[in-house]
Amino acid sequence: MATARQWISGARPRTLPAAFTPVAVGTGAAFPNPRFVTAGLALVVALALQIGVNYANDYSDGIKGTDDDRVGPFRLVGSKSATPRSVLFAAILLFLIAAIAGLVLAIMITWWLLPIGVAAIAAAWGYTGGSRPYGYRALGELSVFIFFGLVAVAGTYYVQRESLNWWILLASMPIGLLACALLTINNLRDIPSDRLADKRTLAVVLGEGRTRSLYYGLIAGAYFAALALSTWRAGAAMALLTTALLVDPLRKVRLGATGKALIPVLAATARIQLLFGLLLALGLTVTA
């Protein structure tokens, strides 16, 4: 039976900035008239979906044998620390929490939020679950960009202001691109084991060299998007203060780090994503 510490590790805490930062940015953009109740509900949805998809991936990859020779974070099913059924139950419970919080938002704001919520839960499960998981077909980064970038940031803004505009979509782009960078470095590390398991991630399809270039491109795109946004909301430039943090992870990727040597790069990318998002949110707030 898995311990509490193992369940926490299985939730993959380092991925949680991908859920927190879009809500922070959407709330910062909503100033000077934020609604913290709806922002809080949006955060519950985002965190529950992120942890739920982590458990769902643990379950689906575990029963398919994809995690039998994994060098990355701890896996509950792959390590046989927890039964597949218990991990599946945890994933379903988290999706249910996200659905309830989303339903409350729909009641408060608009019923049009329901199909978006259903799509988000379906995407969370379909990444590695079901008979045709899209994460095995090189579509993971696209889904992450849509749901943890565009939908999460713009959705958080919408449930507070009940309107959308072009610049909130621009604000969502760097957050989505950094979330994609996090997934890309994770999949770069797992190329050897994913190939053996016939898991065709985008990294497997592109190969190691082009995946490293993709990581560089995603990082560059995020910073250029923040720079472009700063011409509309000057405070967005505060996110560029994190540029110095890029040196070490970019150097390791350029020098060909593989396997366990990429785990610190994954951690550094998560820290950059979090600090970038917090500074972007703060910048949007102070120049509202």
Task: Kindly state the average pLDDT of the residues 212-224.
Answer: 98
Whether the link from the prior residue into 32 is cis, omega within 30° of 0, is yes
Percent of the chain scored above 70 by pLDDT?
Answer: 98
pLDDT per residue as tens digits for the range 57-109:
989 888 877 655 666 677 888 788 889 999 999 999 999 999 999 999 999 99
Q: Report the pLDDT value the prediction gives residue 67, as an integer from 0 to 100.
A: 59
Q: Report the pLDDT value the prediction gives residue 68, as an integer from 0 to 100.
A: 56
For residue 236, the domain's CATH number is: 1.10.600
Produce one character per residue of 242-281: b if its CB has 16 or more CB atoms within 10 Å, e if not. beeebeebbebbeeebeeeebbebbebbbebbbbbbbbbb
pLDDT at 56 over 80: yes
pLDDT at 260 over 70: yes
Q: Report the pLDDT value the prediction gives residue 72, as an integer from 0 to 100.
A: 64
Q: Report the pLDDT value the prediction gives residue 81, as an integer from 0 to 100.
A: 84
Q: Report the pLDDT value the prediction gives residue 73, as an integer from 0 to 100.
A: 73
pLDDT per residue as tens digits for the range 133-171:
898 889 999 999 999 999 999 999 999 999 998 999 999
- pTM confidence score: 0.93
Q: Report the pLDDT value the prediction gives residue 18, as an integer from 0 to 100.
A: 87
**Average pLDDT value for the chain:** 92
Q: Report the pLDDT value the prediction gives residue 280, as an integer from 0 to 100.
A: 98
Give the pLDDT band (50/70/90) at residue 246: very high
Q: Are 112 and 90 in contact (CB under 8 A)?
A: no
Q: Report the pLDDT value the prediction gives residue 70, as an integer from 0 to 100.
A: 61
pLDDT at 245 over 70: yes
What is the Cα–Cα distance from 178 to 148, expressed in whole angstroms?
A: 10
**Domain around 97:** 4-286
Q: What is the CA radius of gyration of the chain?
A: 18
* Phi, psi (rounded to 5 degrees) for 261: -65, -15
Q: Name which of 57, 56, 62 is nearest 81 in CA terms.
A: 62
pLDDT at 267 over 60: yes
Q: Report the pLDDT value the prediction gives residue 82, as an integer from 0 to 100.
A: 87
> How many distinct structural domains can be found in the chain?
1
Give the pLDDT band (50/70/90) at residue 26: very high
